[in-house]
Amino acid sequence: MPSPSVKRGVTVLAALTALLIACAWLSLGVGPSPASWSDVPGLLTGDADPVTRDILARVRMPRLVLAAVVGAALSGAGVVFQAVLRNPLADPYILGVSGGAALGAVLFTAALGTAAMGSVLGRPGAAFAGAVGTLALLSLARVRGRTEPTVLLLVGVVLNAFYSAVILFLLTAGDTSRFRGALFYLVGSVSAAASLSWTVLASVTALVAAGLAVLLLFSHRLNLLAFGEEVAGHLGVDVERTVWLAVGGASLITAAAVAFTGLVGFVGLIVPHLVRTLAGPDHRLLLPASALGGAAFVVLADTAARTVVAPGEMPVGVITALIGGPFFLGLFLRRLRER
C-alpha cells in the first residue's frame, strides 16, 4: 500500500500537470488573431485552414513550448540555488546568473550576427559561459567559508545593473531603432519563439530536460545540505562535488532558458515558494513539482502579456516582475524581522 508521502507526491504532480495542460490549452486558444480553441482539434487532425494553421503552429505553439521550457528551467534552478545557498531569497535573476547568461548570449550574437539565432548549441553555450562567469564573481562574496545572504543579494543587484547596461549598449550601438527589441530582451520576452526553428526549440527543451534530470539525481543530497554543509558531510555527502554539480546544472538550465528569451525575472523565486506549501521541503518532489508549476506560470503569464494590451503585446517579464517584485519585498522584510 503506498505511503502517505507517495500519495501526496502523486496528487501534487498530477494536479500541477493538469494545471499546465489547462494553461497550455488557454494559451493556444487566446490571442489577438481570430484562431480559437475550436480550431485546435483541426490543427491536430490537419483540417484547419492555412491561415489558422500558421497562427497556431508557427506563432502560438512555439511560444507555448518556449514559455513552458523557460518556466520549468528557472523554477528548477531557483529550487537548487535556494537549497545550496540555504537562502530562500536565492533566484537566478536576483543573483545575476540570468544576467550573466543573457550577456553571454548577446556577445555570441554580436559576434555572429543573425546566424546566431539558428545556432542549436552555440547561443546556449555562450549563455552558460556567462552564467559560470557570474558564479565565479559571486564566489568573491564568500568570506571565511561563509556567504552572507545580504552581501550576496547586493552583489547580484550590482551585477544585474552592469549586465543590463552592457546588453543595452551592445544591442543598440549604432542603431537606436533596435531599442524596443533590446528593452524586450532586458525585461524578458518569448516573442522570439516564432523566429526559431523547431530544431532549436527541441534542443533547448532537451538541454533543460537533461539538466533537470541530473539535478533530480542529486535531490536527496540537496535535502541533506539543508541541514548545513558540516552535517551533510558527516552523513556521507561529498559537499564540494555536490554543490558544484548542482550549481552547474542549475546554471546550464538557466542559460538554456535565458539564451533566447532574455531576463524573465522572479520565476525561480515565486514558484518554488508557492509549490513548497503544497509539496513540502523534500527536493525529490519539490524539484519536479516546481518545474511543472513554473512551466504553467510562465505560459499563463505570456498569455496575459499578449492579450492584456491586444493587438499589441508586452514582454512576459513585465507580468512576472509585477508579481515577483512585491513577493520578493515581502519575503525580504519577513526574513529581516526573523533575524
pLDDT digits (tens, 9 = 90+) for 108-150: 887 776 555 556 678 888 899 999 899 888 877 666 555 566 6
Mean pLDDT across the chain: 84
CATH assignment of 4-338, given 3.30.420.40, 1.10.3470.10, 2.20.140.10, 3.40.1410.10?
A: 1.10.3470.10
What confidence tens digit (pLDDT) does each residue in 255-298 have?
A: 999 988 988 989 999 999 999 998 988 999 999 999 999 999 99
> Distance (Å, rounded) from C-alpha 78 to C-alpha 90?
7
In this model, does residue 1 exceed pLDDT 50? no
Q: How confident is the model at residue 94 (pLDDT cuts 50, 70, 90)?
A: confident
> Distance (Å, rounded) from C-alpha 155 to C-alpha 149?
10
In this model, does residue 198 exceed pLDDT 80? yes
Helix (H) or strand (E) holding 138: helix 122-138
For 146, list phi and psi in degrees, rounded to 5: -130, 140
Specify the higher pLDDT residue, 181 or 202: 202
Q: Are 228 and 96 in contact (CB under 8 A)?
A: no
**Segment among 153-162, 247-256, 292-301 with least mean pLDDT:** 153-162
